[in-house]
Amino acid sequence: MKVVRPLGITRCGRAEFRWGERTYVMGIVNLSPDSFAGDGVADPRAALDRARRFVAEGADILDIGGESTRPGSASIAVQEEIKRVVPVIERLAAEISVPLSIDTYKYEVARQALAAGASLINDQWGLKHDPRLAELAAERGVPIILMSNQRDRGGYDGSIKRDTAYYTDVVTEVISSLRKSLKLALERGVPWENIILDPGIGFGKTWQQDLELIRRLEELKELGRPILVGPSRKSFIGLALGLPVEERLEATAAAVAIAIVKGADIVRVHDVQAMVRVCRLSDAVIRSAQGV
């Protein structure tokens, strides 16, 4: 029987994440007006209000993003992304203790966000787009989230080649992708305990493959790092149930609960208060049974 390495503790800003003790909740603060979930805000004051509310509702991390990740969305200029996220991060860092994550795959955006007070990098490309993010994380001593993104499959040298073909075993593909990202991060100096992995629900998979990823999530545990899952309001819910984005709360809750049963350590969500409650009850059932 294979022995699984303990996940240990990851320090992020003023917080410590003690993996296995409970599920952590990441609240999404979208500063992109074209967010797929319909929650994007262009007004920094509205973003600040949302962030404060999420903290009051129990969020453990706030994920600040300035560019939409919806399928087909166009990339925005680096300076525009910085203009959207940095002022909000500066304000939040000055008044709240919850760690702030910068959701970007662009080196300069991440660098300025960290300088403004962010303490975690969330890279939706898993270092495929710019491996220098690993060097930045290592230099600044911050954790990094590496996601498996199958929208554009390519090399780990910064090049991206378009490949719209789907594969036969999504879990094998995702594990292989994450293993490469993990190896690259370690080679560039990121400590083992500062790496978090994300299978990338909704990023280049069919909706059936998204369901399969959640169903087989425990297989990712062989990689030995905490797993973040982001099913919130995603299109797989709409396609499976025929629901518009504004009616996906209950299904998101079901996906979150199942992901926790299957081994998720962090869930990334839009509806913080409801999902904190889902996580707490799921933990009460699952982790008490595991003797945590």
Write out the catalytic residue numbers: 234, 268
CA distance 169 to 234: 21
Q: Give the type of residue at 82.
A: I
CA distance 249 to 232: 8
Contact (CB, 8 A) for 147 and 125: yes
Contact (CB, 8 A) for 178 and 146: yes
- The two tokens of residue 75 are 């990339």
CA distance 51 to 213: 29
Handedness of CA 233, 225, 99, 284 (dihedral sign): positive
Cα–chain center distance at 63: 8
Angle at 82 between CA 78 and CA 86, to 5 degrees: 165
Whole-number Cα distances in Å, 44 to 85, 110, 116, 196, 208: 9, 18, 15, 28, 37
Angle at 211 between CA 208 and CA 217, to 5 degrees: 135
CA distance 274 to 127: 32
CA distance 282 to 292: 13
HSE-CB for 185 with a 13 A CA cutoff: 31
- The two tokens of residue 170 are 């999504």
